[in-house]
Structure 1
Amino acid sequence: MSIAGELARFVTGTSVDDLPSLALERARMVIASTIASAAMGVDIVSSRIIRELARERAGAPEATVWFDGGGALPVADAARVNAVMSDAAASDDSDLRSIAHIGTIVSTTTIAMAERTGAGGRDVLAAMVLGYEIAGRIDEALTPGRGERGFHGSISTIFGGAVAAGTLLALTPAQMTQAIALAATSIGGLVVAANTSVAREYHAGLSAMLGIHAALAARKGFVAEENVLEMPRGFFSAFGGDHLLDVTKDLGTSWDITTNMAIKLVPGGHPHHAAAEAAANAAIAGDVDPHDVASIVLSSAKYRTLPGPKHPTDLIGVAHSPAYFIAAAIADRGYGWIHAAPEKVADPVIARLIDRITVDPNPPPYPDRFAHHHGATVTITLKDGRRFSDHVGFPRGSAPRGIEWAD
């Protein structure tokens, strides 16, 4: 049996009653996170452009565009607009194996499709859990090859949208197989564009829209290459997937939404949240005055250099600048939503601290291939020679540390 077929058989054979309560609870949390992030992103230019384009196309009134007040749009268009809004604010969820925003896609596609089909709340949560599981397993098999080849997480998150939407459409095993196969050949997306521009949220919108298109086409009887995932020059071969056995191993014994999902409690790229938390902890432990800092060393095998802009000037730069995360966390003994504000981005105290940051040239190697499971260590040296250091593995709001509604 093909990988797509095996995954489809598992998904269509699993009901909401088969899922643990924690998985359903985490689905509820990621809905809240996605909608909250969309509220932050509604007025960002990229969101406005995609929303206007969808309004110009119009079509069957099937699903709501959030925070808009206008009429409903076709299900795929509504999901696309909502996904762009959520991702634009750089405050949506991440999967900590390879920083794919799976929750954003399963939330937006499932809620939109539920409006079309009239699905109930528990069915929505189940569809989200199943979509997250398939996207997470596929992205795990692609880690780290996908990123090393320059591809964005959207090439994996689309499977979450296709499976979640297909679950609410009650696809048969054969149809779900085709939805997965179509998703595999539907999308691209480059990390270099996502890290430097609003192409990041453009990717998210395409992932949501094309995932729904795959499910709808499969329901109509569209047939693709069933073996596209594993065949030579197929999906995994093209995108750097070297761990195919992981995709179908032990299906149903644990659930990725409970083990690897992380909710952003502060804005910006999730790879840098652990470093910011470690920097704040060290600053608090040493009662550090920013003016007394002589040097700051960031140690983590994923930081051979400091990626992103050293001195960011906008939200895109802030989201991808570990130097800014660390300096801001030391200056204010914590990192939060205020640090996305223009006055903080231009803060001269933070700018001076940024210039004191260097990267450990010989960090300890990782024990596995999941760089974002191991966080970062930040060491602050003061002008009088005292040193304060802290290590954070998983950031607050991540599944391994536990996620609470109070967060």
Structure 2
Amino acid sequence: MTHSQTLARFIYDTRYENIPEEVIEFTKLCILDWLGSALAGKDKAPIQMINQFVEEIGGNPQSTTITGMKTSAVNAALLNGAASHIVELDDVHKGSILHAGTVVIPAALSIAEARNCSGKELIEAVVVGYEICFRIGEAVSPSHYYYWHNTATCGTFGAAAAAAKLLGLNEEQIASALGSAGTQAAGLWEFIEDGAMSKQLHPAKAASNGVISALLAEKGFTSASKILEGKRGFFKAMSDVFDESRITHGLGASYKIMENSFKVHASCRHTHPALDMIIDIVKENPIPLSQIAKINVNTYQVVLDITDNPDPQTVYAAKFSLQFCVALGLINQSASLKDFNEDTLWNETIREVMSRIDLSVDPVVNESYPEKWGAVVEIELTNGKILSKKTEYPKGDPENAVSSQDLITKFEQLTSGYDGKETKMYMERIMNLEKFSVVSNFFEKEMEGELWGQEKLHQQ
């Protein structure tokens, strides 16, 4: 069997009834976490530009966008994927180095609404979508990640898997959907040099291309049978070193969605290990800035590749500047969404502290990446004393987990600008998702029944 056929069989065979309860509950938390980021991001300028684009091109009113528009399932996935990535608080997986929620869930929701799927079917789709993109991401990482944004490339496969599951495709059709996903997989890191808006286009296109792949496969559209392992396939074309065994090892024995991590800081995940440590140090040892001679951050090479930016010029670029994030964490003891703004970006004290920060690669930490995303942070004081802390797992990793209540609180904070009844409504819908026979009104604000219009939905 080809890798696509193996994955297709797993996708086809996965059934809600066989998914453990803890996986179901965790999956609902992933959906809630995705929605919080999407609602917080929907009014940002790049998302409004994509919203205008979707309005202009039109589309059959099949699915709802986070902005309240009815459009095609493809366009809804496009817009909703972009919206959930922009505030930098979406989930992440260490081994595959990707944000699955921002590509899988928009694709799944758009098809679930268009085809009147049930809550259980939506959960199935999200579970298999995470599984597939995590496995493909692990197979090509970390070498793939230098040029390619894994969320954009590997995420396309996850979106296709989720959409294919909801469309009820057979194994042959699912394999074709994966083939079409692979040939559309793209997303280069060059945007980071300019702090450009392309990063939002990455999950947008991954989600929408996944939907396109599945919808075409439903009609009998064929694709490369060995899109992953073929001589001109995904592995050889897009990775210097790859491990094919990651595709099948333990497949079906457990669910990789349980390896998912959640963000607590509103910045690139690669800044989080150092952020955690600098905040812990200053909370335990209040230090006047005048007594700090130097701050050393020793971490893995990818951190420097992605976040070594001593002079960010925009708020968004600041989220990808380790120097800025460490200085912000030192001074504010926080790096939440509200901490990143124009005032902090140009704050003279933060800028001065940034000049005292030195970044370097720690060989031991680097060797452990991407299984462990670690950092060693040292504050050298003017009296010669050194305050130091290290971590292998930033807060939010399974090994350093946040609670379900933490994620609910995070959702409430991200949606604090919304009416409290509306946010409570969304929480009730998601946390009772398996009870609903249709999820076609996910974004509808007012419905009959106590929980997400349960009576109305069952009557349809």
Q: TM-score range by the shorter chain?
A: over 0.9
Tell whether the 8 Å contact from 1:152 to 1:191 is kept in structure 2 after alignment: no
CA shift digits 1:29-48 (9 cap, x unpaired): 22122221122211222111
The residue aligned with 1:190 is 188
2:251 pairs with 1:251: yes
- Matched with 1:118 is 116
Structure 2 partner of 1:332: 332
Does the CA contact (< 8 Å) of 2:103 and 2:151 recur in 1? no
Q: Is the 8 A contact 2:291 2:381 kept in 1?
A: yes
For residues 305 and 385 of structure 2, the distance between their equivalents in structure 1, rounded to whole angstroms, comes to: 25
Residue 73 of structure 1: aligned partner: 71
In the alignment, what sits opposite 2:80? Answer: 82
- 1:197–1:316: 8 Å Cα contact kept in structure 2? no
Q: How does 1:280-291 map to 2 (within 5 A)?
A: 280-291=279-290
Normalising to structure 2: TM-score of the pair? 0.84
Q: Spell out the pairing of 1:8-407 with structure 2 (5 A cutoff).
A: 8-66=8-66, 68-70=67-69, 72-194=70-192, 196-240=195-239, 242-259=242-259, 261-302=260-301, 303=303, 307-360=307-360, 363-368=363-368, 370-371=369-370, 373-407=372-406
For residues 6-52 of structure 1, give each alpha carbon's deviation from its aligned partner in whole angstroms, at most 9, with x where no partner exists. Answer: 10011101101222222222221221222211222112221111111
Q: Give the deviation of 1:74 after TM superposition.
A: 0.4
SS at 1:359's partner residue? strand
**Cα 1:46–1:281 shift into 2, 3 Å:** same
Structure 1 residues 54 and 282: alpha-carbon distance in aligned structure 2, compared to 1, 3 A threshold = same
How many Å separate the matches in 2 of 1:107 and 1:361? 35
Secondary structure of the 2:71 match is coil
Q: Distance in 1 between matches of 2:305 and 2:108?
A: 39
1:14 and 1:114 map into 2 onto residues whose CA distance is: 17
Residues 295-347 of structure 1: CA distance to partner in whole angstroms, max 9, x if unpaired?
00001132557834213232321121111111111112233223212212222
Q: Which moved more, 1:183-192 or 1:281-290?
A: 281-290
Shift of 1:77: 0.3
Question: Post-superposition shift, 1:93?
Answer: 1.5
Instruction: Tell me if 1:3 matches 2:14.
Output: no
Q: Which stretch of the first structure deviates more once superposed, 19-28 or 73-82?
A: 19-28
| C-alpha distance in 2 between matches for 1:28 and 1:363 | 38
Deviations 1:162-192 (A, max 9, x none): 0001101011011101011111101211012
Equivalent pair of 1:27/1:257 in contact (CA under 8 Å): yes
Comparing 301-310 with 347-356, which one deviates more in the overlay? 301-310
8 Å contact kept, 2:146–2:189: no
Structure 1: gaps spanning 5 or more residues: none
Identity %: 25
- What is the CA deviation profile of residues 242-284 of structure 1, one whole-angstrom value per residue up to 9, with x for unaligned ones? 101111111112222111x122222110111111011111112
Q: Is the 8 A contact 2:97 2:150 kept in 1?
A: no
Partner SS, residue 165 of structure 1: helix
Q: Output the amino acid matched with 1:105.
A: V
Unaligned segments of structure 2, at least 5 residues:
407-460
384-393 or 296-305: bigger deviation: 296-305
Q: How far apart are 1:152 and its partner, in Å?
A: 4.3
Distance in 1 (alpha carbons) for counterparts of 2:125 and 2:197: 29
For the residue of structure 1 that corresponds to 2:349, the secondary structure is helix
- Alpha-carbon separation, structure 2, partners of 1:34 and 1:114: 16
Specify the code of the residue in structure 2 equivalent to 1:162.
Answer: A
Query: Size of the alignment, in residue pairs?
Result: 403
Task: Give 1:205 deviation, angstroms.
Answer: 0.5
SS in 2 for 1:141: helix
Q: Secondary structure at the match of 1:87?
A: coil
Question: Are the counterparts in 2 of residues 283 and 388 from structure 1 also a CA contact under 8 Å?
Answer: no
1:364 aligns to what SS in structure 2?
helix
Whether the aligned pair in 2 keeps the contact of 1:152 and 1:190 (CA below 8 Å) is: no
> What RMSD in Å do the two structures reach over aligned CA positions?
1.8
Q: Structure 1 pair 84/142, CA: closer, same or farther in 2 (3 Å)? A: same
Q: Aligned to 2:180, what secondary structure does the other structure show?
A: helix
Q: Which moved more, 1:200-209 or 1:376-385?
A: 376-385
The 10-residue stretch of structure 1 (353-362 or 46-55) with the greater mean CA deviation from structure 2: 353-362
One-letter code of the match for 2:84? S
What's the offset of the Cα at 1:398? 2.1
Q: CA deviation at 1:84?
A: 0.7
On the 8 A contact 1:301/1:371 being kept in 2, the answer is no
Change over 3 Å in CA distance of 1:48–1:92 after alignment to 2: same
